Amino acid sequence: QQQVKQSPQSLIVQKGGISIINCAYENTAFDYFPWYQQFPGKGPALLIAIRPDVSEKKEGRFTISFNKSAKQFSLHIMDSQPGDSATYFCAASWGAASKLTFGTGTRLQVTL
Amino acid sequence: KAGVTQTPRYLIKTRGQQVTLSCSPISGHRSVSWYQQTPGQGLQFLFEYFSETQRNKGNFPGRFSGRQFSNSRSEMNVSTLELGDSALYLCASSLSGGSAGANVLTFGAGSRLTVL
């Protein structure tokens, strides 16, 4: 059972534009929602994370928006740069942060 | 500060064989988790070890097993390999895990297993 649905599967954004990736979850017990960035040949790296008691969290050019009632959260990358080209995964967990349920990933390409 | 180290990085096995993958966590990290990454199924949780004990387990058959040593290093083993076991196996460590969001998972670069 897929518990975290992620869209789009791929995304092409021009340099300086805004990249938006969306995720929806089913399990209302989830209480930790991180986003990971993965470059080819590397393991995923934590980008930013949020808890459901906060509707938005911003770190530099990266912002998570969280809608608890809709069971949705999204990642916004402002002023997207070619170096942001990577695969992004949303995830969710409850109880134990080590047991993450991941979305299917979004391959982002930022063009010049 | 050294990151999570996984060995070997690449390996090729044939069906029916077994394989052991190794993971050295960040110094001071006591929790080690394993994930399988495939194009079809994405990232899936295998199991987590903390203080040499399996604390959580994903939905994988018993052919997948692991263990953790007193120095927090961990190994995972896959027996009777199947073609579908071809994947990138990722290890992640954290300080202690347990409380949601309290500990950041740091992933290694993975061990890419190809089963022929």
A39-50 pLDDT, tens digit each: 999 999 999 999
B110 in contact with chain A, both atoms CB, cutoff 8 A:
yes
Q: What mean pLDDT, rounded, does chain A reach? A: 94
User: Can you tell me the distance from the alpha carbon of A59 to that of B34, in angstroms, rounded to the nearest whole number?
Assistant: 28
Query: Does position B4 have pLDDT exceeding 60, yes or no?
Result: yes
As to burial, measured by CB atoms within 10 angstroms (0-12 exposed, 13-18 middle, 19+ buried), residue B79 is middle
- What is the model's pLDDT at position B102? 55
Evaluate if residue B72 carries a pLDDT over 70. Answer: yes
> Which chain A residues have a beta carbon less than 8 Å from that of B42?
89, 102-105
Q: Can you say how many angstroms the Cα of residue A63 is from the centroid of all Cα atoms in its chain?
A: 9
pLDDT band at residue A95 under the 50/70/90 scheme: confident
pLDDT score for A87: 97
pLDDT value at residue A2: 55
Rounded to 5 degrees, φ, ψ at B100 are -55, 125
In contact, B33 and B92? CB cutoff 8 Å: yes
Pairwise CB contact (< 8 Å): A105 & B42: yes
Q: Does B44 touch chain A (CB under 8 A)?
A: yes
Question: pLDDT confidence of A19, banded at 50, 70, 90?
Answer: very high
Average pLDDT estimate for B54-77: 95
Nearest residue on chain A to B50, alpha-carbon basis: A98
- Residues sharing a CB contact under 8 Å with residue A61, sequence separation 6 or more, in sequence order: A77, A78, A79, A80
User: Could A97 and B94 be called an inter-chain contact, meaning their C-beta atoms sit closer than 8 Å?
Assistant: yes
Residue B2's pLDDT band, with cuts at 50, 70 and 90, is confident
Nearest CB partner across the interface for A94, out of B4, B100, B106:
B100
How far does the CA of residue A106 sit from the closest CA of chain B (Å)? 11
Contact B43 A93 (CB under 8 A): no
Residues in chain A within 8 Å Cβ distance of B29: none
Q: What is the pLDDT of residue A96?
A: 63
Pairing relationship of beta strands A101-102 and A45-50 according to DSSP bridges: unpaired
On chain B, the residues whose CB falls within 8 A of the CB of A41 are: 109
For B73-103, write each residue's pLDDT tens digit: 999 999 999 999 999 999 999 987 555 555 6
